[in-house]
Amino acid sequence: MTYDPENIFAKILRGEIPCDKVHEDDTTLAFKDINPQAPTHVLVIPKGAYESMDDFSANASDTEIAGFFRAVGKVARDQGAVDAGYRILANTGVDAHQEVPHFHIHIFAGRDLGGMIKRA
Ligand code: 5GP
């Protein structure tokens, strides 16, 4: 699959549409989800053009991967989510209902997040 440069997160990275930014560094951007599913719901995305966790883990550089995952942890700390706990989630592909084809990790916190996954 080819990366679609017109996906919504690519437009956010180019500054073509706004976001409620909570973190930015050389490799990574984090911003609040437009349709929050928990009191804290932040999306963390690499600045590089990777469509999914599969693409990112296979093709990103060590610097991008280290920077990205350090940023995920920092954002959770900055959001005050560590003491009560939080969940990270990366929907990947059709069965996971990935909607935006730019790799992203969701951070959810601020309430009891319930069980891990919908039962079959
Ligand atoms: P996915 O299902 O791909 O894992 O999740 C995509 C997420 O992106 C959804 O939670 C959705 O609410 C969020 N989202 C979609 N469009 C926008 C947008 O324009 N701005 C922000 N901040 N979030 C968005």
Residue 118: predicted pLDDT: 84
Closest atom, ligand 1, to C-alpha of 104: 4
DSSP for 21-71 reads: EEEE-SSEEEEE-SS-SSSEEEEEEESS---SHHHHHHHS-HHHHHHHHHH
Q: Per the residue annotation, which of 23, 41, 104, 106 is the catalytic one?
A: 104
Closest atom, ligand 1, to C-alpha of 41: 10
Going by alpha carbons, the residue nearest to atom 5 of ligand 1 is 99
Please give the distance, rounded to the nearest whole angstrom, from the Cα atom of residue 7 to the centre of ligand 1.
11
- pLDDT below 70 — which residues of the chain? 1
Residue ranges per domain, the chain? 8-109
Q: Which of these CATH numbers, 3.10.20.30, 3.30.428.10, 3.30.450.40, 3.40.50.150, describes 8-109? A: 3.30.428.10
Phi, psi for residue 31 in degrees, rounded to 5: -150, 160
Examine the residue annotation and report whether 97 is marked as an active-site residue of this protein.
no
User: Quick one: which of 106, 100, 47 has its CA closest to 72?
Assistant: 106
Distance, in Å, from the CA atom of 54 to the CA atom of 119, rounded to the nearest integer, reads 24
Whether ligand 1 lies within 6 angstroms of the CB of 95 is answered as: no
Residue 63: predicted pLDDT: 98
Residue 1: predicted pLDDT: 67
